[in-house]
Amino acid sequence: MSIYDDQEKDIVRSNAGRGETFAEIMQRRMNRRSFLRGTATASAVFMISACSQAPTETATGPTTAPATDAPTTAPATTAPTTAATAEPTMAAVASDFTFSAIPPSPATKDETVVPAGYAVATLLRWGDPLTPDAPEFDTNNQTAEAQAKQFGYNCDFIGFLPLPEGSSASDKGLLVVNHEYTNPELMFPGYTPGDPTQEQVDVEIEAHGVSVVEIQRNAQGEWSYNKGSQYNRRLTGTTPMTISGPAADHEWLKTSADPTGKDIRGTLNNCAAGKTPWGTVISAEENFHQYFANLDGLPDDDPRKAVHKRYGIPAEASERVWEKYHDRFDATKEPNESFRHGWAVELDPYDPTMTPVKRTWLGRFRHEAQTFGIAPSGKVAVYTGDDARFEYVYKFVTSGTYNASDRQANMRLMDDGMLYVAKFNDDGTGEWLPLEFGKGPLTEANGFTSQGDVLIKTRLAADALGATKMDRPEDIEPNPVNKKVYMVMTNNSDRGKEGKAGPDAANPRAENKFGHVIEVTEDGDDYAATTFTWEIFMLCGDPEDDSTYFAGFDKSKVSPIAAPDNVTFDLKGNLWIATDGQSGALKLNDGLFAVPVEGPGRGHLQQFFSSVAGSEVCGPEFTPDNKSLFLAIQHPGEGGTFEEPISSWPDGVQPARPSVIAIRADNGGVIGQA
Ligand code: FEO
Ligand code: CA
Ligand code: CA
């Protein structure tokens, strides 16, 4: 969990809505499901035996730097990595994985760890030049102009899109990487919190957004990026973009700088994302609220103020104080600017000239990601969550159908359909409730004036429908092999606290410190269905903790895990889970874990990768052949400062640099099964 994630969760009071509480439901459901019996007293048994499986010092030394192919530019250094060898702490049993789980790393370890037989190389670091005219990274002389042409900060989502377009190539492609937020205290020497210079602020704005970078793999399985590629592109906090769908004509999108309401500047806090079936990327604007300030200056009778409050716009100064230099971040001066954020943004990595589009049918909230499934009818379902305590899980279903031979038509699919919010029933069933203007409570009598108005106020509409309040929804992703949908709830330490919603069937633990994973089966395996069934797949934590559950697998054989966040699936449908917050929950570094969801190994969770001090692990992404795995190492060294660092990853010098790494098997085999 990043410092900023933690802070913003204290700003929002997301139980302001009316959604149900489920104490009775929990009790009935727990009576029915034996695996939950141990959770009834979960809050009383959170005695964590941190580091119960202490790391073994079995390092085999640093990996070698990858060879590079002209004319590409590869990072000059490769991060120190430990390949765990000998005496694995947990034997590989009952799964099709061939690696042995690595021991977890203590939260102070500033070195990555992978299983024996695997190698790690740094591919893209914050500040690496992406265009021919981009300068090399210069810690002491960073400028906004340079940053706009360099790889951004705090990489999160990673998408690999093969080249040529439409192929399933694994040796050449475009890497699309989100840059969620900035840590100015780590980026700039001499940074003064609360009193930044304009140059620092403008560098930060350009360090946000998205990078598109062409990469290629050589015969040895080593990756490098192509600095001269025509595809390389940065989207930042100032990039021109437009907006579509029902909210696009809303009065509240107009500002003094943009009376049209459709000439948007920039995308911010791009956390996770998803690849569409037609080869574009839809990037999530997550904690957008934190860039705005001074809501208290807006009169109480202004109807926008209550909406901004529901979204957590700060009452006074913002954390980064961008409003000092840019009026658009001041909610008193520009009360509509923040309505232009909190959306999902579609970009076409194959077309560097495309103007990105904010797709309002996907709703406005703190988007974690958008992930895609094609229904039997050809309609496209988009799963997405609102990552804050007691917020909701959503699904958009298109009106039109996917056409594999008409990419331009597919790119209009996001502009017509219906947005739904999830309600989890006590009996293991669930419903997708439509956020349809004029239906149920979503009427003018209740303050909703149009479909666009419903979407701008998505959170309030979901409150009115009585959706189920969740434990911080992170990735919500369909498994292309077994068709089930995996919904990751990262944690919610407020669950059950006084004045807050108590445990329920789908969020069964009070003061949920470790997070859980819900497995949803859409009725008829139809992603467009409006009803579903669900199970708890995993209750995370130290397996020695009685409140944990790993799909019924023998807990003596699983790795400890907390704060699940981003997920992906390999070609066999195994679930891979990256974490964000283990250092707080378990005193361990974040990592990447693999777990089968079918067969005798179902629930056999094993740690595959461990990250460095202060970081979280994001973006797990395989190449189509599953022989390369990309990970984003976000905010290495968070918790320290430039002057008092806790990490010098990846290069052994200051500052630490958020980076994308590539993992391969020494024998060139499939990751996890080499
Ligand atoms: Fe940026 Fe919900 O993680
Ligand atoms: Ca996330
Ligand atoms: Ca995260």
Q: pLDDT (tens digit, 9 = 90+) per residue, 448-507? A: 999 999 999 999 999 999 999 999 999 999 999 999 999 999 999 999 999 999 999 999
Closest-lying ligand 1 atom to the alpha carbon of residue 286: 1
CA of 14 to the centre of ligand 3 (A): 19
Q: Which residue has the higher pLDDT, 46 or 210?
A: 210
Is the pLDDT at 1 greater than 70? The verdict is no
CA of 565 to the centre of ligand 3 (A): 6
CA of 564 to the centre of ligand 3 (A): 9
The pLDDT score that the predictor gives to residue 83 is 67
- Rounded Cα distance between 430 and 10, Å, is 29
- Rounded Cα distance between 593 and 115, Å, is 12
Closest-lying ligand 1 atom to the alpha carbon of residue 156: 1
368 in contact with ligand 1, CB cutoff 6 A: yes
pLDDT digits (tens, 9 = 90+) for 152-178: 999 999 999 999 999 999 999 999 999
**Counting ligands in written order, which one lies closest to the CA of residue 617?**
3
471 in contact with ligand 1, CB cutoff 6 A: no
List, in sequence order, every residue forming a beta bridge with 519; answer none if it has no partner: 486, 535
The pLDDT score that the predictor gives to residue 96 is 80
CA of 57 to the centre of ligand 1 (A): 32
pLDDT digits (tens, 9 = 90+) for 340-381: 999 999 999 999 999 999 999 999 999 999 999 999 999 999
387 in contact with ligand 1, CB cutoff 6 A: yes
Cβ proximity of 265 and 397 under 8 Å: no
| pTM for the whole structure | 0.90
Instruction: Work out the average pLDDT over 420-429.
Output: 97
User: Under 8 Å CB-to-CB from 288, ≥6 apart: which residues?
Assistant: 268, 269, 338, 341, 342, 366
Is the pLDDT at 7 greater than 70? The verdict is no
Is the pLDDT at 76 greater than 70? The verdict is no
8 in contact with ligand 1, CB cutoff 6 A: no
65-74, 92-101, 383-392, 406-415: least confident range: 65-74
User: Within 10 Å of residue 406's Cβ, how many Cβ atoms?
Assistant: 11
CA of 194 to the centre of ligand 1 (A): 24
CA of 342 to the centre of ligand 2 (A): 15
- Rounded Cα distance between 176 and 231, Å, is 11
Instruction: Work out the average pLDDT over 307-313.
Output: 98
What percent of the chain stands above pLDDT 90? Answer: 86
- Rounded Cα distance between 180 and 322, Å, is 16
Closest-lying ligand 1 atom to the alpha carbon of residue 566: 3
Q: Residue 71: how many CA atoms within 13 Å on its side-chain side? A: 6
CA of 616 to the centre of ligand 3 (A): 7
Is the pLDDT at 595 greater than 50? The verdict is yes
475 in contact with ligand 1, CB cutoff 6 A: no
The residue contributing the CA closest to ligand 1 atom 1 is 271
Instruction: Work out the average pLDDT over 8-29.
Output: 35
Is the pLDDT at 23 greater than 90? The verdict is no
**Counting ligands in written order, which one lies closest to the CA of residue 472?**
1
Q: Measure the CA angle with vertex 75, ends 633 and 649; round to 5°.
A: 40
Closest-lying ligand 1 atom to the alpha carbon of residue 490: 2
271 in contact with ligand 1, CB cutoff 6 A: yes
Closest-lying ligand 1 atom to the alpha carbon of residue 180: 1
The pLDDT score that the predictor gives to residue 64 is 32
Is the pLDDT at 113 greater than 80? The verdict is yes
- The whole-chain average pLDDT of the chain stands at 89
**Counting ligands in written order, which one lies closest to the CA of residue 180?**
1
To which H or E segment does residue 281 belong?
strand 281-285
